[in-house]
Amino acid sequence: MKLKIRDALEGLAFSTPAFLLLFFVLFFPFVYVIYISFFTKYFGYEAVFSGLRNYIEIAKDPLFYYSLYISTLYTSISVVLKLILGLAFAMLLSQEFRGRSVVRAIAVIPWGIPLFVVAALFFWFFDYNLGLANIILKALFGVKIFWLGPDYVIPSIIYVNVWKGIPFFMVNFLGALQTVPKSLYEAAEIDGANAWHRFRYITVPGIKYVMLIVCLLSTIWTFGEFDTIFFLTRGGPGYITHIIPIYIYFQAFSRFDIGMAAAVSVLTVPIFLALISVILWALRR
């Protein structure tokens, strides 16, 4: 069918606002970040072109590599735990039992709590003297732990992330589980498949696309998470929890150098692209 000019103009008129919005909200800031990363730009000062100096300085900074390592460790352990526990809870809550709706509703609560509030809750939960975690530990085993101290801070922040993130996995898995035909399980049982076989060959293939998308989203969110860790540990003790977003924050607001902060942000883009590519590749398979 031949496209009339009027139709084309109308189409353009309708799509232009959305295009402009995307340009200014997504594309322009992204390009600007890349541009400014080649400058030394202190807050309130003129930008001075410095070529690759910011990138070279970052490449020489051992803290950057540590931040990358700790971000990757934090993200991978958190996502794997959320995947396992989210799936376990979803399977549990997909069973018929009395009060299932209430339990499902309660289980979603952590996901609905704002990050700032979660951080505040756990700040006190982990407090050495007053925290509930140590009160329980002391009552059961007669010991107390410095939860946010050097030895336990990484498991503690992972715990908080997993606690907050499980419902997202669970809800998505619950939905996906409803789509797996019951007849498959019945047929498998008749054929003598045990519980593991049913899980491995029916449940997992049945929900694998949802699993991949949920893992992709969670990986991106967890890798870029700032609020909870900043509030709980501010990257410490020392630099133990100095994840990439905190590294960027300190470049901007302690070194006062937007150019450096932008350069670190640019360097994280390939990591995100790699993650997305892996997931998309898996989805195509």
- Which residues contact another protein by CB under 8 A? 10, 42-46, 116, 127-130, 146, 148-150, 233-240, 250, 252-256, 258
> What is the C-alpha separation between 138 and 120, in angstroms, rounded?
22
Q: Which is closer to another protein, CB of 116 or CB of 199?
A: 116
For residue 254, the minimal CB distance to another protein (Å) is: 4
Q: Which is nearer to another protein, 44 or 192 (CB)?
A: 44
User: Would you say 20 or 130 has its CB closer to another protein?
Assistant: 130
Strand ranges in the chain using DSSP code E only, listed in sequence order? 39-40, 48-49
> In the bound complex, what is the minimum distance in angstroms from residue 253's beta carbon to another protein?
5
**Closest CB 61 distance from another protein, rounded Å:** 11
Q: Which is nearer to another protein, 24 or 272 (CB)?
A: 24
Residue 49's region, left for phi above 0, alpha for psi from -120 to 50, else beta, is: beta
- The token pair at 272 is 């995100």
Least separation, in Å, of the C-beta of 32 and another protein?
12
Closest approach, Cβ 163 to another protein, in A, equals 20
The smaller minimum CB distance to another protein, of residues 110 and 149, is found at 149
Residue 257, SS3 per DSSP: strand
- What is the rounded distance in angstroms from the CA atom of residue 55 to the CA atom of residue 263? 6
Q: Please give the Cα distance from 167 to 128 (Å, whole number).
A: 28
User: Cβ of residue 284: shortest distance to another protein, in angstroms?
Assistant: 33
Q: If you write DSSP's letter for every residue of 14-75 in order, what string do you get?
A: HHHHHHHHHIIIIIHHHHHHHHHTTEE-BTTS--EE-TTHHHHHHHH-HHHHHHHHHHHHHH
In angstroms, what is the minimal distance from the CB of 238 to another protein? 3
Count of CB atoms within 10 A of residue 271's CB? Answer: 15
Q: What are phi and psi of 250, to 5 degrees?
A: -70, -30
Select 41 or 82, whichever has its Cβ closest to another protein: 41
Cα 16 from chain centre? 32
CA distance linking residue 150 with residue 137, whole number of Å: 18
Decide whether 27 or 128 has the Cβ nearer to another protein: 128
